[in-house]
Structure 1
């Protein structure tokens, strides 16, 4: 089935495409194309460019800086970001804590945080996972004990992405140790400058420092920073995780990677021709493109039906999360096949095709780290195994 857009939607796509072509700094675009990490300053500067256009958080309610776009326009915007390629604004801010505060926050919380979140004046990280409490998030043990107008937090968080950049953290804590697993949990906003917070870097398989361990030792968080009701934080977390799982699909990003693999394969010698002409490679590309088209249609249906579910996550977001992560991994595997041995780390010059290149500047050098990094997307946001259980319960009644 061919997806078709209206003339108005096609005009909107042209507007977005033209803006991105002129607005993305060349140095940032090159980093995104090569799959390299942006610095904090680069990401913040890009979000401020988007914010000046009114596009940093378009999915938010208009009164808080969002755009009154249709579901299809939101989809087009995200896809054009990925295909440009341009950096996607940090998900912790735009797709997680922003929508959570709009849905569950007090008026004071909305007025203080949302304008700062939209401009990246506040960079948020996510304090959910713990040692032994990753996919089984409800078993978390970090405690928050009420002491007057504050909660006193003690415990450890793990795999806290960008904590070393963050100004704030939205954190799940246990406020009632006697309650059952999914009860007695609260959702707090924690200033990362608060005494008692320690950050320890974790260098991942791709060689980058993206995630961290976070230790909380008598960290005092104002009760005013409680989002939603005390001991009802699981409801907030489920709402947030529904948004996270839908965003993890990243159809446009996978489409960009497949397009790039095809372009690069046209330059890689293979037999008497180039890799792009080999039937096996073409078959892999075609199969991946078919699966991406199916996922794209599913995502658009989920987005179009989003209002039906209110604060409750659409169970189909688990499908997007599972299949989207699998296809992201498949796309990086395709790129690894194109790069071949040139993706290996070397300290000397090496040959790609018939030209000698410096390894640090070559396209192939960044493919392996991204391949390694994308291994984790089937785990974050709730592992794919957990998503099978969610679907079995919510859609099949098992």
Structure 2
């Protein structure tokens, strides 16, 4: 049985007040809150086994290395990667995308095409723009429609033998729209292109099976799945990771160094230069254990109910427009006619409600709708319908004050 109050009790921050009001945290799309087991695991690492990894023969180094590699194995199992060395620790989604984009500079040449979608976060646009500027390749954009969904007929049309890689998010951070990535993966492969999936917004809500998806790369961040900041994962198929050159040079990613020539370490260390975020890597495994204990079926059921309830309640407010009406996850992105989203966000914050306002690092989406930004309420499994009622009341108060 899913007991939301029992779940909430495991998140210390949810019991505090903000501006004298009980905290209603609806900014989960930006970062999730952390359960006590994760907070305790960070403290435990620094108190008991703090040491550098892979390099020491002493006991603490071996304990830290074991814990780090156990976490890698948990992540391999969680995403169903075929090989342990296909799991690369990064600092987050942005790092993972940049790593792949930098590597493709050795593959992409002038006249080639790199494809992204109109629904992307800036971190899945800018690295590919930089790649195109560096190589002379052309950036091709899959358009969206008024429902916030990608136009798949245009995707099919734009794919060609010039397409080298497609980069698309699994779920839109700004709208919550779920993209048909399995279809897009199959089509990209039929065209001879690789495909990278930005899973930053998907992994809090579902378990990606990278073998079933057959994606070439899948990236996500720890801090959005109840884990620490500063750590993330790049999954890459072994063949692709072997083909790409290292992203950074330094310690750990080498096999042998002389002044005449350096040879590189095998996967995964080839892409893990320097001392990593050891605590973050270890505790990411703790966070994944926690989510699996809650259960992704239960998470999806709770969040679906919250999305339906929140959409119905907000839709009752006159002059309110919701953006992104296709198949989606627990995100409601909206505006109220004649009122700037920043003003709504500021007032509801005074009433204890945390939401995100602005373009959400997805400015092309806002340009498509010809708006300065939106108010985004993003729900997690530890949120409740009672919190939605408080939020809706706060939005109504803000509207009255600003109208």
Category of TM-score, reference length = shorter chain: under 0.3
TM-score by length of 2: 0.27
Structure having greater relative contact order (Cα 8 Å, sep ≥ 6):
2
